[in-house]
Structures are given as structure tokens and as C-alpha cells.
Amino acid sequence: MNMTTPYAYQFWPGPMEGVAKAEFVATVNELDLVSRWMTPFLRVSEIPAPRKTVAIFLAPFLRSGKPVTLQLMGDDAKILAETAKTAVALGAEGINLNCGCPSKRVVRHHSGGAMLNDATLIGEICRAIKDAIGEKEFSLKFRSGSGDWREVENFLPPLAASGDVDGFFYHCRTVAEGYTAIADRKERFLTAAQAAGDVPLVLNGDFDDGAESFAILAECRAKGAMIARNWMRDPYLLRRCEKQDAPDAETGRQLFFTTFCAKNPPRGAQLEICRMLWGEKSPVFRKLCKKTK
Ligand SMILES: Cc1cc2nc3c(=O)[nH]c(=O)nc-3n(C[C@H](O)[C@H](O)[C@H](O)COP(=O)(O)O)c2cc1C
């Protein structure tokens, strides 16, 4: 891949649990807004997810005809590996393990971001999933650490050296930082790029289509960027990053919302998507709230 031409990078939609429901995914597919999908997390704990559950979960994403990566969350290697096997049999191109979710409920259950405290367990899970899915891509999505962003320098090199992980998705915040703005994002990306060694790295955290984002991608020799919230504020953002024709941000928001509402999603979902597109202080959102009362 030529790392100097911007469109050679991969641009990924950030998984968004609670947002990427059927009507949302159908809207993205209809407007052709992404080149690939990573699903939100499917949490598996007591038993491997039954085939039917995985099929229903994957279906809206697979309908796009684009490569789909299923994201899994859990802390039991055998159960996760079994579920991963089912998912690839159903058409998933890749499996991703969530090691970053900061939700208190998730962390309490020793999953998501809490996993960063147990690198040995992450390694065991990676090995089990990779063994189960063979040639299909296995990747890890993680934050910089639990409380200190430099934790990444400790847990990442052994995972990179293990040979079990085909790619990393790195969200530069710590679990404790949640979604707060951070000032030293570039330093964090460069540090992770070093720690990842030869394993391809996709960067995540406040990316957009601006010159600064592309400069970071080039400096880190990254494989690409994953964008969540900025994509929701500008639904054609990933297409613009890929240097494809795209309408301006406001036209894109209107097109997205009209297409989404035409699918008759529940009123609450309409409000949530409107809030993500325009922000809760926007006249559009306020007007919709008034209508709903
Ligand atoms: C509503 C919402 C739901 C999310 N759900 C997931 C998820 O299921 N899995 C995951 O790995 N990250 C999830 N994230 C995190 C994003 O994918 C992304 O890593 C984070 O927002 C940072 O990227 P950004 O700065 O481009 O938004 C979620 C974020 C939001 C705002």
C-alpha cells in the first residue's frame, strides 16, 4: 500500500453500540457511506452465542455487501473463539475483540476496558480466536490504558510479537478519560505506532478529513483511521476522506436524516440520531423535541 497518497488509507466507521441499529445501518448502506463495517460489540459470557443470534446480529451489516468485522466482547477465551467461528461461517470477514469500552457496567464484568489490566488474558483470548478463525483477520480494539496512557508501551509489544493479531485499532484515550478532549493525541499515536511493531495499526480518536489528521496517519505509517462521532456529525466524512465525491456536511446530514426517518424508526431513535447529527443545542434538534412532546 502506498502510504503517501491519502486515499490509500483504510477509513473505518467507528462501532457505535446503541446507535448502529437496523434502520441506521440500512441508511448507511442505502447512501453507500462506508467501504467496510465493524459492528458494535456482541457481548458473550455464559455460553457461545447461538448461530441464530449471530446471524441476526450480522444481517444488517452483511446486507451492505461490504466486508464485515464482528466485534466481540467477553473474557472467556473458549466461548469467544466458538462464537468467532460461527461468525466467520456466516460471512464475517474478520473478528475484533473489544478491549476499550469504558462503560461502568462492562468494566464491572471484567470486559471491555477492564481487560487492559490483564494482558495475559488478552493474549490467551487472541490465541484462541486466531486458532478458531484461521485465515480470517483477527484484530484488537483497545484504549491507551486504564488510567495512564503510557500503559500501551507495556501491553502492546508482547501482543504484537505473539503473531496472533493481524491488526490493531487504537483509541488514544485511557478508559478513565472516557470521551474527554486530550491535548497530546499525536504523541500517543506515535508511541502506539512504535509499540505495534509490524502489525498494521488503525488510529482512532477525533479524526477528520483535515490536514492534521492526514499528517498523523503519514507520520505513524498507519493503515488507516477509524472515525465515530465526527462521522455522525458529517455522514459523508469517510467518503470525503477517501477522496470520493460527497455533498457538503449540512446537505449530508439532511439526506441522512430524511433517509433514516423514511424507514420509520422509533421516535426515540429519531431524536437520538438528530442529536448526534446536529447536536443538542441545535434548532433542528430542539424543534424535533418540541414536536415529540
Ligand atoms: C454511542 C457510542 C457507542 C460506542 N460503541 C462502541 C462499541 O460498541 N465498540 C467499540 O469498540 N467502540 C464503541 N464506541 C467508541 C467509538 O467506536 C470510538 O472508539 C470512540 O468514539 C473514539 O472515536 P471518535 O473520536 O472518532 O468518536 C462507541 C462510541 C459512542 C459515542
State in Å: Cα 232 to ligand 1 middle.
11
- The dihedral sign for the CA sequence 13, 171, 176, 162: positive
Tell me what pLDDT residue 7 has: 59
For the segment 222-230, the average pLDDT, to the nearest whole number, is: 98
Query: Could you give the domains of the chain?
Result: 6-243 (3.20.20.70)
Confidence of residue 110 (pLDDT cuts 50, 70, 90): confident
Q: Quick check: CB of 98 below 6 Å from ligand 1? A: yes
Task: Give the predicted TM-score (pTM) of the model.
Answer: 0.96
Say how far apart CA 8 and CA 227 lie, in whole Å. 16
Say if residues 25 and 40 touch (Cβ distance below 8 Å). no
**Residue 144: CB within 6 Å of ligand 1?**
no
Is residue 4 predicted with pLDDT exceeding 60?
no
- Could you read off the pLDDT of 126-176 as tens digits, one per residue? 999 999 999 999 999 999 999 999 999 999 999 999 999 999 999 999 999
CA nearest ligand 1 atom 17, residue: 14
**What per-residue confidence (pLDDT) applies to 3?**
45
* 101 CA → ligand 1 middle, Å: 8
Predicted confidence (pLDDT) per residue in 33-65, tens digit: 999 999 999 999 999 999 999 999 999 999 999
- What are the DSSP calls for the chain, one per residue? --TTSGGGSEEEEPP-TTTS-HHHHHHHHHHT--SSEEEEEEE--SSPPPHHHHHHHHHHHHTT-S-EEEEEE-S-HHHHHHHHHHHHHTT-SEEEEEE----HHHHHTT-GGGGGG-HHHHHHHHHHHHHHHTTSEEEEEEES-SS-GGGHHHHHHHHHHTS--SEEEEE-S-TTTTT---S-HHHHHHHHHHHTTTS-EEEESS--SSHHHHHHHHHHT-SEEEESHHHHHSTTHHHHHTT-----HHHHHHHHHHHHHTT---HHHHHHHHHHHH-TTSHHHHHHHHHH-
Q: Which atom of ligand 1 is nearest to the CA of 100?
A: 11
- Which atom of ligand 1 is the closest one to the Cα of 96? 11
The pLDDT of residue 109 is above 80: yes
pLDDT at 145: 95
Cα gap 182→178, rounded to integer Å:
10
Asked if 166 contacts 199 with a C-beta cutoff of 8 angstroms, the reply is yes
Atom from ligand 1 closest to the CA of residue 207: 26
pLDDT at 111 (0 to 100): 86
* Cα 39 versus chain centre, distance: 7
pLDDT at 1: 44
The rounded percent of the chain whose pLDDT value lies above 90 is: 90
pLDDT of residue 226: 98
**Dist. CA 14 → ligand 1 center (Å):** 6
In 3D space, the residue among 98, 82, 95, 87 whose CA is nearest the CA of residue 54 turns out to be 87
pLDDT tens, residue by residue, 165-218: 999 999 999 999 999 999 999 999 999 999 999 999 999 999 999 999 999 999
Ligand 1 pocket member 186 (CB < 6 A)? no
Q: Say how many Å lie between the CA of residue 245 and the centre of ligand 1.
A: 26
Average pLDDT, the chain: 95
d(CA 59, CA 25): 10
Name the residue of 11, 17, 179 whose CB sits within 8 Å of the most ligand 1 atoms, as the mutation to test its pocket: 17
The response to whether residue 13 sits with its C-beta less than 6 Å from ligand 1 reads no
Residue of minimum CA distance from atom 3 in ligand 1: 16
